[in-house]
Amino acid sequence: MTNDTDLKPRWTWLTPFNMIAGVIVIAGIIVTLIRFTQGLASVTRLSDYNPWGIWIGFDLMVGVALAAGGYVTSSAVYLFGMKKYHSAVRPAILTGFLGYFFVVIALHYDLGRPWRLPYPFIVGWGTTSLLFEVGLCVALYLTVLFLEFSPAALEWLGYKRTRELAHRLTIVLTVFGVVLSTLHQSSLGALFLAAPSKLHPLWYSPYLPTYFFVSSVIAGLSMVIFEGALSHKAFHDKMSKTYLEEHDPLTLGFGRAAALVLAGYFTIKVVGLAADNNWHYLTTSYGLWYLFEIIGFVLLPCFLFAVGARDKNLKLIRRTSALAVAGIVLNRLNVSLIAFNWHLPRAERYIPSFMEVIITVFMVTLIVICFRFIVTRMPIFYEHPDYTEHNH
């Protein structure tokens, strides 16, 4: 993203990072004002044919998938006994928390009447809707992530007792986190089960929920590696010896795991293709696009992760993680936007407006700013001196 010096916290304000972030934030605020005073039509290119744009396709679909690092890492460490990666939990939980938080913020832009967001749980329990399940799980999981993250904040603030309390909930919260994540990650895919006539058959499958869940694990693993590599450059001085020591084995371990899950994902994708007998679509232009996704962003990263893990080539694993993350982005955009409404004539298809893109970039920037603010203050990459023993 940027080199060392750009992200390094300094109190001279005119760093390149701050200038770019500043411009984005100002643009974001302007578009926000237009959006909430003039309505959706003034900033988006949404239409009656295309009710969902990139605020759903990217901010929600991609956002939730890429924030999966939290549950993947915490369950690996606390439930599956990979304590040796303990120091990776906090950064992953923090990213997860910020990711989900801004998913919810972004949702406020997209909803027609955002102040009614709690209505599904107050006014009408629309339990027949998968969106209800998504909403409920995201709301609960955001709370779980907040609690999981709270020990770091409480240590920073010096509330020892409360911190102990929050800390003791770790295992329960982790189990909750996995259950909720399984549900809403898969339900995001299941949302599209309702529209078999609109989503291209190569992407539509009764296995959509499974695809989304399994690929969220890939997203989680790859994001932890990818983000670790970026943080390594930017916040090296904030990292404890333990973190730095555990970092390389973690990259290796998660890379190996990602190779395995990608292989599984590829297999079930092929099974789905065979089950629906969709082979003949592969020769169409959508078919080529599908193959591009499957070969370039599933098979290739699978292979590269495997090679990297075998040769203990950390650099290769880090680069592959970026490829895998891009693959998740591509997949979510394909399902929600690119292969969606494929039957419509080109004039009716959706292309995001410039202002929609600004809001999306604005959200990502806010996540980076918050992340930077927190890791330069709270014990994320190191352990607070008062709480050093790992007591799990």
Partner 1 sequence: MGISRRRFLTWIGAAGMGLAASEKSHAGSLKHFEGYKDSMGVLHDMTRCVGCRLCEEACNKVNDLPKPVKDFKDLSVLESSRRTAPSAYTVVNRYEIPEQTKPVFRKIQCNHCLEPACASACFVRAFRKSQTGAVVYNPNVCVGCRYCMVACPFEIPTYDYDEPLTPEVRKCTLCSPRIEKGLLPGCVEACPKEALTFGKRKDLIKIARERIAKHPERYIEHIYGESEMGGTSWLYLSGAPFTSLGMREDLGNTPAPSLTSGALSVVPMVVGLWPVFLAGMYGMTQRREKIAEEEKEAAVALAVEEANDLAEEKLAKALSKADAEKRKALEKAEGEKEKAVKEALEAAAKPSDDSGEAVKGGDE
Binding site for partner 1 (CB under 8 A): 36-42, 44, 46-49, 51-52, 75, 78-81, 110-114, 116-117, 119-120, 123-133, 135, 171, 174-175, 178-179, 182-183, 186-187, 190-198, 206, 209
Per-residue DSSP letters for 297-320? IIIHHHHHHHHHHHTT-HHHHHHH
Residue closer to partner 1, measured from CB, 315 or 343: 343
Query: If you write DSSP's letter for every residue of 251-263 in order, what string do you get?
Result: HHHHHHHHHHHHH
**Shortest Å, Cβ 182 to partner 1:** 5
Q: With respect to partner 1, which residue has the nearer C-beta, 174 or 231?
A: 174
Choice between 202 and 314, CB closer to partner 1:
202
Smaller CB separation from partner 1, 113 or 280: 113
Q: Which is nearer to partner 1, 48 or 389 (CB)?
A: 48
Is the Cβ of residue 105 or residue 193 nearer to partner 1 in the bound state?
Answer: 193
Structure tokens at 2: 């940027």
CB 228 within 8 A of CB 252: no
We find the least distance from the C-beta atom of residue 112 to partner 1, in angstroms, to be 2
**Strand partners of residue 199:** 340
d(CA 117, CA 119): 6
Of 52 and 146, nearer to partner 1 (C-beta) is 52
- We find the least distance from the C-beta atom of residue 51 to partner 1, in angstroms, to be 4
- Minimum Å gap between C-beta 36 and partner 1 is 7
Q: Rounded to whole angstroms, how far apart are CA atoms 186 and 16?
A: 39
Beta carbon of residue 155, minimum distance to partner 1 (angstroms, whole number): 24
Nearer to partner 1, 324 or 355 (CB): 355
Give the nearest distance from C-beta 173 to partner 1 in angstroms. Answer: 12
Q: How far apart are CA 263 and CA 265, in angstroms?
A: 5
Integer Cα distance of 29 and 359 in angstroms: 9
Collect all residues with Cβ–Cβ distance below 8 Å to 104 and sequence separation of at least 6. Answer: 138, 142
- Using the structure block, give the residue that is written with the tokens 């600004």: 358
Instruction: Name the region of 239 (left: φ>0; alpha: ψ -120 to 50; beta: rest).
Output: beta
Question: Are 106 and 55 a contacting pair, CB within 8 Å?
Answer: yes
Q: In whole angstroms, how far apart are CA 2 and each of 5, 283, 334?
A: 8, 40, 28
**Closest distance to partner 1 from the beta carbon of 49 (Å):** 6
CB of 172 to partner 1, least distance (A): 10
Q: What are the percentages of helix, strand and coil residues in the chain, rounded to 5?
A: 75, 0, 25
Q: Reduced to 3 states, what is the DSSP secondary structure of residue 343?
A: coil
In angstroms, what is the minimal distance from the CB of 12 to partner 1?
40
Tell me the C-alpha distance between 77 and 366, whole Å: 28
- CA 271-212-364 angle, 5° bins: 145
Identify which of residues 22 and 124 has a Cβ nearer to partner 1 in the complex.
124
